[in-house]
Amino acid sequence: MIGSNFRQSMTWLHTWAGLVVGWVLFFVFLTGTLGYFDTEIDRWMQPERPVFDGNIDSRQAITLAEQYLNNEAPEARSWRVTLPINRNHSDLIVRWKPNPEIDHNGAKIYHGTVIQTLDLNGEAVNYRETGGGQKLYKMHYDLHYVPELVGNILVGICTMFMLVALTTSVIAHRKIFQEIFTFRPFKKQRSWLDIHNIFGVLALPFHFMITYSGLVFFYLTLMPLVYFGVYGNNESKAVSDTKMYPPPIVRSEHSAEMMPLSFFYDKIREIKGDNTVVETINIDHPNNGAARINVRILTDNFTYSQDWLFDGVTGQLIADGEQPTGTVFYRDFLGIHEGLFADISLRWLYFISGIFGTAMIGSGLILWIQKRRIKNLRLGLPIPMNIQLIEKFNIATIVGLPTAIAAYFLANRILPLDLPNRVSAELDVLFVTWLLLTFHALLRPRHYAWMEQLLFAACLFILVPIVNSITTERGLLTSLANLDWVYVSFDFLSGAVGIGFIACAYLYKKYSADSSTATEAEDTPADTQNLAEG
């Protein structure tokens, strides 16, 4: 038996580990959960994009891409060809890094990567600029607007707090599995406790997996001394040992004719089998004596990739794709975290589990406030300013953030297509909306803040399919007729979320306690003991 004092200390630790970083974790879980359908969100936010049917000849696509790159950037520092092979890569995309320019002082000026999408005839096609689902996904680990390293460190620290909160929750709850089947509606504080427990326990294995594998993402960021203790500044040895990246190659002073890229596609299939899926082909120093071809293939379970390195001029294999156990472990965990192996049904399970995690965090934040508010009301004491302020930020996070994401979707349809820096403008709409809703929550009384933001969120989400049907030819009825399930699902879910917010507003209005008379006299001592302590 675990002693009651130890259990109470774990309860205290669980409460504060979750509360201190709760707002950040809510942001991370919500945006990360949307990332499981990042490709589908990309498609919705680029209505000009044709539907990917999977009937692509990869060898022909490689030839078309090579012809385009030779015409547009024959002397680039590097090329990259991404093949249309699955939902994550549904377009033929070429990238190249131009050679640096030399200024009047002899200094090199490097330019960014040029990215171009090609159609199946090898012609350049352009869709509207958008952050899409990729930007939402990246937010969950870089936080946007802050330097990427700072964002990674902050998210890594919060993830460690999350792991502590999950571990202590298992210890603190004596009847953790019984709580899956326990829900007492309309009981104020007890109801929030039951909701928090249900969402936490139902997807508990997922929560542990996603949190631990998330920490694996940041192993170098959070434990840099391990890396430097082993390798110091010897980057080439680190690359050689881990085989995560191809070794850097110095450009030759002589040009040379490369083997056709299709040769390397055929070569890798000859080595690995005809069912081998080639994801990308990277070319360092194309049309140069030092040309190197890196062919990246997907493993059978799609959890990670292998890189095969060839000499671009002779076609000779330089390094196979076999990787050390540590690298395989790392990439497997990334694949599991991102659900790369998942089919559509398992991807929905990932998504639903992520929503459960988001709801678990949100209900925990509300439960903490409810407990303290009701305790003060019982004693006839005013609600402290810090409790009021925390609840204001709860409103801005739990309701304001989803509302801002709806504004992001609407901005994609409303902003002019030729607007400069359109991607940044879409993201600015998201964060400005969130900032305005934060000010609204701070300025309005709590009851009105909850009601107004819930109704505003409902309006924006219901507007998403309406505005989509007005501004594009991919409205709900048209999508149903064309059996375009990505658009049907997106519009349907947006409307359903809007209706869900209306239901929340109705329930809040009907069952929210009057601050002058609210009590929790029906709580039993056992219920009170199970409530999170702070």
237 C-beta neighbours (distance < 10 Å), count: 12
522 shares its domain with 465: yes
406 shares its domain with 494: yes
- The verdict on residue 312 lying in a domain is yes
For 485-514, how does the pLDDT look when each residue is reduced to its tens digit (9 = 90+)? Answer: 889 999 999 999 999 999 999 988 887 754
431 shares its domain with 510: yes
Domain count of the fold of the chain:
2
96 shares its domain with 40: no
pTM tops 0.75? yes
Answer whether 441's CB lies under 8 Å from 392's CB: yes
| Residue 285 DSSP SS3 | coil
For 251-297, how does the pLDDT look when each residue is reduced to its tens digit (9 = 90+)? Answer: 888 888 999 999 999 999 888 887 888 889 999 999 998 899 999 88
For 405-422, how does the pLDDT look when each residue is reduced to its tens digit (9 = 90+)? Answer: 999 999 999 999 999 999
349 shares its domain with 281: no
211 shares its domain with 297: no
Answer whether 81's CB lies under 8 Å from 280's CB: yes
Q: Which is it for strands 277-284 and 108-109: parallel, antiparallel or unpaired?
A: unpaired
For 206-264, how does the pLDDT look when each residue is reduced to its tens digit (9 = 90+)? Answer: 999 999 988 888 888 888 887 777 777 777 777 677 766 677 777 888 888 999 999 99
The last residue of one of the domains, among 267, 293, 322, is 322
189 shares its domain with 275: no
Say what the pLDDT of residue 462 is.
97
121 shares its domain with 67: yes
- The verdict on residue 236 lying in a domain is no
Print the domain residue range for 256.
58-126+245-322
Say what the pLDDT of residue 527 is.
40
Say what the pLDDT of residue 52 is.
63
Q: How far apart are CA 516 and CA 273, in angstroms?
A: 74
- The verdict on residue 227 lying in a domain is no
For 329-338, how does the pLDDT look when each residue is reduced to its tens digit (9 = 90+)? Answer: 887 888 888 8
- Provide DSSP, 148-189: HHHHHHHHHHHHHHHHHHHHHHHHH-TTTTGGGG---TT-TH
pLDDT higher than threshold 80 for residue 161? yes
Nearest to 28 by CA among 390, 345, 362: 362
